[in-house]
Homo-oligomer: A and B are copies of this chain.
Amino acid sequence: MAEKLDTKGITVKKADDMPQWYGQVIIKAELADYSPVRGTMIIRPYGYAIWQKIMDYFNTILKDLGVENAYFPLFIPENFFHKEAEHAEGFSPEVAWVENKDEDSQERLAIRPTSETIMYDSYARWIRSHRDLPLRMNQWCNVVRWEVKDVKLFLRSREFLWQEGHCVYETEEECDRETMMYLEEYATLLEDVLAVPVVRGKKSEKEKFAGAKYTTTIEAFMPDGKFLQCGTSHNLGQGFAKAFGINYVGKDEKEHLPWQNSWGFSTRLVGALVMQHGDDRGLVLPPRIAPIQIAIVPILFEKSKKDTLRACSQLKKKLSKYEVTIDDREEYSAGWKFNQWEMKGVPLRIEIGPKDIEKDQVVIVRRDTSKKYFVKNEELKEKVEELLEDIQNHLFDKAHEHLKKSIVEVESWDEFLAAVDDRKIIYAPFCGAKDCEDQIKDKTKGANSRCFPLEQKETSKKCVYCGSDARLYAYFGKNY
């Protein structure tokens, strides 16, 4: 029964209906499942293993950067939100509230949609002197935003897991520099580990974080022509410090307001991986993030079974620096196993049967290209290393190619509209005004400015929509 269900594979092509395809891959590769609680999802072990690898990688980065992990309460008193006006306004529609069971308290408690307010209340108590700065803290936790009814697995749900970093500095310059540094670490995670190329930029006034001076972002571009915001880093200026009374005594023995930033990415990154690299047979995982890098499938016959399984164990031992699994289940056929490991996106499959043992070789099959290699045992280690490296690069290059060739520079509103229809990345001069952006979104049924790219060319052009002076070029497109 299970066999029948699983081998059915994905019933729709990625190119034909990406949302349908995406949902099927997530369910059939057992990354996640729908939950009986509206708007929420269940992260299954295979999906969580990817998130764990992301956490492990990023924790080593945090340690190098002197950022320490901590944990703050899930509940935030209502009055904390109101201390920073823009922040309160930005988040209020999304906040879930808890019924306060204490008879002697009327105060409503929010379930954290983000933790600036609850953390900075403590920062005000902890920070006294310039010796306490910079303070760099992070937490891995769940957050709740009520916005959505219909969950999109990993991409949009009422509860998700994330990391949120919150730092405090003496100077604006230090704060600026590190705001960009964390963004660049995000870009490195996406590009070098997940093989997902991104554009780096600043958000418009309309799209920036509620309460920030400015927001920077990394944006991936999915194969169906939609952007996916993958991480943001906010320079918060001094607004929260003022609102929460964070002060420090400087070397000059006077009181000063510090500067702050916050930055986060979420389990959404798992969704980015799936969309970016998957194909019509399922998931395709870059080796550096794959929970299992190599699946060994023995070709079992009754009389050679023992020898074949012994060869598998030796192989696994030889490849002990990788995550290797031996699929020795006897209730499934080799062909069924091939399909399953393909569905799960395992980068390399190694097949080994009695004939291979005779020839002192194994058969290696790449998940990304399906190319088959007959490899002598003495060359195995090198070949595996080379292939894994090559898969990692190939996946990035393919995605990067798609991103680059999707960018079109437009001069006029007509060109803009045509590019929206073509699902391109639109590169155009933009005034940056909120009102103008609202109108663009309205006229295009959803395209908005994704960011002002960090690298800018000088422009004296006019805004592509309203014709007023354009400050900068921006990228536009629809988004998840």
A331: B residues at CB distance < 8 A:
131
**Would you call B70 and A129 a contact (CB within 8 A)?**
no
Stretch binding the partner chain, chosen from A97-105, A190-198, A295-303: A97-105
A68: B residues at CB distance < 8 A:
45, 48-49
A1 to B128, CA, bound (A): 9
Specify which of B40, B105, B121 is in contact with A38 (CB 8 Å cutoff).
B105
A331 to B68, CA, bound (A): 22
A96: B residues at CB distance < 8 A:
98-99, 101
Q: Give the shortest distance, in Å, between A167 (CB) and chain B (any CB).
A: 13
Contacts A/B (CB < 8 Å), 28 sampled: A1-B128, A2-B131, A2-B132, A33-B122, A33-B125, A36-B77, A36-B80, A36-B118, A37-B77, A37-B109, A37-B118, A42-B72, A42-B73, A43-B72, A44-B70, A45-B70, A48-B68, A49-B68, A51-B71, A73-B159, A74-B142, A96-B98, A96-B101, A97-B99, A98-B111, A131-B331, A141-B142, A142-B142
Specify which of B74, B102, B126, B149 is in contact with A159 (CB 8 Å cutoff).
B74
Question: Most chain-B Cβ atoms within 10 A of its Cβ — which of A37, A102, A129, A137?
Answer: A37
A159: B residues at CB distance < 8 A:
73-75
A73 to B101, CA, bound (A): 22
A131: B residues at CB distance < 8 A:
2, 331
**Would you call B142 and A35 a contact (CB within 8 A)?**
no
A122: B residues at CB distance < 8 A:
33, 35, 42
A161 at the interface (CB under 8 A from B): yes
**Would you call A70 and B98 a contact (CB within 8 A)?**
no
A73 to B41, CA, bound (A): 7
A431 to B131, CA, bound (A): 61
A102: B residues at CB distance < 8 A:
38, 149
A77: B residues at CB distance < 8 A:
36-37
Specify which of B48, B75, B149 is in contact with A37 (CB 8 Å cutoff).
B75
Q: Which of A427-445 contact B (CB under 8 A)?
A: none
A146 at the interface (CB under 8 A from B): yes
A273 at the interface (CB under 8 A from B): no
Q: How many copies does the complex hold?
A: 2
Specify which of B2, B45, B109, B111 is in contact with A129 (CB 8 Å cutoff).
B2
A69 at the interface (CB under 8 A from B): yes
A109: B residues at CB distance < 8 A:
37
A116 to B107, CA, bound (A): 30
Q: Give the shortest distance, in Å, between A22 (CB) and chain B (any CB).
A: 20
A52 at the interface (CB under 8 A from B): yes
Specify which of B2, B42, B70, B126 is in contact with A70 (CB 8 Å cutoff).
B42
Task: Place the interface of chain A in its size category.
Answer: 35 or more
A121: B residues at CB distance < 8 A:
36
Binary contact track A155-174/B, C-beta < 8 Å → 1, others 0: 00011010000000000000
Q: Evaluate whether A71 and B48 lie within 8 angstroms (CB atoms) in the complex, with A118-B37, A142-B142 already known.
A: yes
Q: Give the shortest distance, in Å, between A165 (CB) and chain B (any CB).
A: 13
Q: Give the shortest distance, in Å, between A271 (CB) and chain B (any CB).
A: 15
Q: Give the shortest distance, in Å, between A198 (CB) and chain B (any CB).
A: 25
A141: B residues at CB distance < 8 A:
142
A77 to B51, CA, bound (A): 26
Q: Which single residue of chain B is at the shortest CB-CB distance from A108?
A: B99
A269 at the interface (CB under 8 A from B): no
Q: Give the shortest distance, in Å, between A98 (CB) and chain B (any CB).
A: 6
**Would you call A69 and B40 a contact (CB within 8 A)?**
no
Q: Give the shortest distance, in Å, between A118 (CB) and chain B (any CB).
A: 7
Q: Which single residue of chain B is at the shortest CB-CB distance from A75?
A: B37
**Would you call B48 and A69 a contact (CB within 8 A)?**
yes
A241 at the interface (CB under 8 A from B): no
**Would you call A42 and B69 a contact (CB within 8 A)?**
no
A25 at the interface (CB under 8 A from B): no
